[in-house]
Amino acid sequence: QVKNAKLYVTFGNNPAVTRASGGGQSWEFFSAARRNGTRMVFIDPIYSDTMAGRNAEWIPIRPSTDAALCEAIAYVLITENLVDKAFIDRYTIGYDEDSLPASAKPGSSYRSHILGLGPDKTPKTPERAAGITNVPAERIVRLARDMAAAKPCFISQGWAPQRRMNGETQSTAIAMMALLTGQVGLPGTNSGAREGDSYGIDTGLPTGKNPIGKSFPIFLWPRAVKDAKGMTALNAGVRGCDRLEHNIKFIWNTQGNTLVNQHGGVNQIREILEDEKLVETIVVVDNQMTPSARFADYVLPDTMNQEIDDMQGDAYAVGDYNYIVACPKAADILWEQKPNYWIMTEMAKRFGLEEKFTEGRTQKEWIRWGYEQTLAKAAKQPDPIKLPGFDEFWAKGFVKYHMGRDSGIVLKAFREDPEKHPLKTPSGRIEIYSERLAKIAETWELPKTKGQEIHPIPRFIATAEMLGQGDPLEQKYPLEVYGYHGAGRTHSTYHNVPWLRALHPDELMINPIDAEPRGIKTGDKVRVFNDRGSLIIPAFVTARVIPHLVAMPQGAWYRPDEKGVDQGACFNVLTTLEATPLAKGNPSHTNLVQVEKI
């Protein structure tokens, strides 16, 4: 739908790297933008590869301040009568006092908050936002007017803005831009979320049902190792019970480097994993000796993808088409490694569950089963999809198909008839004011750290470790840092491939304004550090990153020396174990640091 938009505005989004492809989502995106000359505006602390060489405008912004910018845009839209009130009245609740739920306090609507009629009595003017975001007030006003005038306007965001300590409300604040302008459910528009994928119909292995029924947010697993009984529904988002009962004593980690490398607070996690009074047994199944595998008591060597028959159902980040790819083995297994399916079958056998696990099928038979299940789904589509039989597919190597009735228009049916096609919210409408969030805000027990707040409406929240917001820590650590997705790997996968490292070296982007007084030039090795850890990395001096922010690719493998200084440039030695307020997620972009030349 980008091809139908006159204006494309996106926040913290770099699809040229995060959705890179020769014929998938990023290729389609750029083709669509060129089709009718869609004007593009990117709001980002970094001049990214997506902008480079294209007809795109860059609005540099301080990290974590997107919500403040959105509040100021909303102020302009409201005070200049540019809000699509007809859309707001029909499809949303909580925008103004007239549409607030009965349980809401007077003055708690979104409009009241923006105009300074709410509890904080502070109008969210462009001048106020300019001091927070570093985006000039006149530029904010012009952007607001442009967004209101462009019909259609496609508004989106990447996943960077939510990976902050105030990430949940940053994400919803951006989505408000689409709502206020009524640019939802029409050709050339979006919902304010990330651009979607044409998710396909491929069928994976059945997963069974966990009889326990108790769960907690995965980012909090280190806490569940040390103090599970202290984790409750109100302080840790526990579900299925009021509180947990037992500390984690056993960890099984299959095919992933998330145990260490991709989690916050690597140095703090290291202490937890090394203490055998805490986690007594760690099993890692992998085909690389990753940083996570180095902490294992048992390493079960998995096969490489090329050594077994497999199949890929690819409907994520590939654009408008979906693919099923046959992966017949290209080499025999040479040593003692075994396929993960064999490992899990042997485990199931020892628990007396082999038949339940395998259902009598080999891995190759499960591949055929999955494809034939997909064939059955394809035939039942409103516009039936024609796919070849399994044997023809396996011989050809891949099939490509299109979800026929997927127009790409987000919330199209809801826009056409909200009564017939209500949303899955309690009211059936878009909830600008959420009664559920209001209740959570009243009942949940949150840490006392600055920014640990939950509100029923989208709004800017200043947090700890955020420049310009009064954190005394910035006197010691005057730079912000975040870890972006680099082009040389997927998270931490392929970090250990030497020629990819040569093409895409790990470097710290630093602005000349910050590099010069530190005597730093491109290629110099620098130490990046805060109270949580330190790492060594070469510098790349560039004006593509804003002043007082440094940035580096995330996913480098953790490699501490004897003093605990990471020589592998693993970004997460700098990040925290404290979770975000609502989702209890990873606030990986909220960090203050200092940088010094070695």
Which DSSP string do the residues of 233-291 spell out, in sequence order?
A: TTTS--BSSSB--S---EEEEES-STTTTTSS-HHHHHHHHH-TTT--EEEEEESS--T
Looking at residue 320, what is its pLDDT? 81
- Quick one: tokens of 590? 């909220």
Looking at residue 207, its amino acid is T
pTM reported for the whole predicted model: 0.96
* Average pLDDT value for the chain: 95
Q: Roughly how many angstroms between the first and final C-alpha of the chain, as a whole number? A: 49
pLDDT tens column, 96-146: 999 999 999 999 999 999 999 999 999 999 999 999 999 999 999 999 999
Looking at residue 150, what is its pLDDT? 97
**Can you tell me whether residue 92 is helix, strand or coil?**
strand
Phi-psi region of 415 (alpha: psi -120 to 50; beta: other; left: phi over 0): alpha
pLDDT: which is higher, 204 or 478: 478
- Nearest Cα to 596, choosing from 539, 532, 534, 526? 526
pLDDT tens column, 66-103: 999 999 999 999 999 999 999 999 999 999 999 999 99
Do 243 and 229 touch, CB atoms closer than 8 A? yes
- Nearest Cα to 283, choosing from 247, 244, 256, 245? 256
